């Protein structure tokens, strides 16, 4: 039987980590080839190509590196891969997935996975997550779904998934919406059909800077007042509740929004910003009048990724459209 072609890239992260000496903290050391060897069952499912593109903790990934990884993934599809799997650290997994999803224009799936336990720990979850991710990437029902995250037996759309626990194995969830599917007895089962996606072109520039600040009780406005002078091209604020800030912040935002795009998201971790409920100064209705955009269900981190890409594509004027879709 002619097995399908599957491509795997390793970027680093906990899934690739172990300690060099007893008592030391774990660091990325395990290549993609070694990860593949930990799941020999894969050779019965696909003809696998694996490459180590980096051995980095995910906190040290950046947009330029991700664009190079995306170029690699695009090439694998052109070479006949029916799906692509990327392993990386979980700290920025939700942001990386969102970044790729806005740019992935193939019917074939791109699946991201990682691990919450290092390779040296008892019960390391990396091999199981990698095998699950590959099963999802090979499944016919995964086509037209863009980028997804597979962790702990669940399949999460890139636009919804969040890391909601710092250390637990079940660290990933999709607040409000829930997972798109799961693996049951090694079979990929989806509970929802593919959603409509609008893909952006590759950014024409990558030097743009988008700041992200979080509203907090009695916070001063010093950083906010200097956003423009510092040269930022966009601003995302994690607001209180349904997308609110203090009166003093609202006044500064009014002036910033005249110069650069400003998005207000919710810092709560779940739920949407409002549009027409609160009329006080600093409430969402006031901020919209002052020129800010509300993020809806996008968390601040995902909103920042979207805005960075839109500015890079010179499509920031279409921000409202993309926020509405999300």
Q: Which of the residues are catalytic?
A: 14
Classify 80 in phi/psi space as left (phi over 0), alpha (psi -120 to 50) or beta: left
Closest CA to 177 of 159, 164, 163, 194: 159
The token duo for 261 is 């795009």
Q: Distance between CA atoms of 245 and 233, rounded to whole angstroms? A: 21
User: CA triplet 306, 271, 144: central angle to 5 degrees?
Assistant: 50
| Residue 144 contacts residue 194 (beta carbons within 8 Å) | yes
* Tokens 């037209």, located at residue: 144
Q: Distance between CA atoms of 50 and 84, rounded to whole angstroms? A: 10
| Residue 10 contacts residue 4 (beta carbons within 8 Å) | no
Length of the chain: 326
Q: Distance between CA atoms of 129 and 115, rounded to whole angstroms? A: 7
Query: Which residues, at least 6 apart from 79, have a Cβ–Cβ distance to it below 8 Å?
Result: 5, 7
The token duo for 283 is 């409430």
The token duo for 112 is 């991201």
DSSP one-letter code for 185:
T
Query: Which residues, at least 6 apart from 156, have a Cβ–Cβ distance to it below 8 Å?
Result: 148, 149, 150, 172, 173, 174, 179, 180
Helix (H, G, I), strand (E, B) or coil at 151: strand
Helix (H, G, I), strand (E, B) or coil at 282: coil
């Amino acid at each position: 039987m002619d097995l399908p072609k599957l491509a795997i890239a390793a970027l680093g992260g906990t899934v690739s980590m172990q300690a060099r000496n007893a008592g030391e903290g774990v660091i990325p050391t395990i290549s993609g080839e070694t990860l593949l060897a930990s799941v020999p069952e894969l050779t019965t499912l696909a003809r696998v190509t694996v490459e180590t593109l980096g051995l980095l903790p995910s906190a040290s990934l950046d947009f330029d590196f991700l664009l190079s990884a995306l170029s690699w993934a695009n090439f694998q599809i052109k070479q006949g891969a029916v799906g692509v799997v990327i392993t990386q650290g979980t700290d920025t997994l939700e942001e990386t997935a969102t970044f790729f999803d806005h740019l992935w224009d193939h019917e074939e799936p791109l699946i991201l996975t990682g691990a919450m336990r290092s390779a040296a720990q008892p019960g390391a979850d990396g091999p199981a997550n990698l095998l699950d991710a590959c099963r999802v990437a090979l499944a016919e029902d995964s086509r037209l779904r863009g980028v997804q995250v597979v962790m702990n037996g669940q399949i999460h759309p890139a636009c919804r998934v969040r890391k909601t626990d710092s250390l637990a194995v079940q660290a990933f969830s999709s607040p409000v919406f829930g997972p798109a599917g799961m693996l049951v007895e090694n079979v990929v089962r989806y509970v929802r059909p593919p959603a409509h996606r609008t893909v952006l072109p590759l950014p024409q520039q990558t030097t743009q800077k988008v700041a992200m600040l979080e509203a907090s009780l009695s916070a001063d406005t010093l950083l906010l007042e200097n956003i423009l002078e510092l040269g930022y091209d966009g601003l995302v604020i994690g607001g209180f509740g349904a997308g609110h800030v203090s009166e003093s912040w609202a006044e500064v935002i009014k002036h910033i929004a005249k110069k650069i795009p400003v998005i207000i998201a919710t810092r709560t971790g779940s739920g949407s910003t409002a549009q027409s409920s609160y009329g006080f100064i600093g409430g969402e209705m006031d901020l919209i009048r002052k020129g800010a955009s509300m993020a809806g269900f996008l968390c601040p981190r995902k909103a920042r990724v979207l805005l960075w890409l839109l500015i890079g594509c010179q499509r920031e004027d279409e921000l409202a459209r993309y926020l509405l879709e999300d």
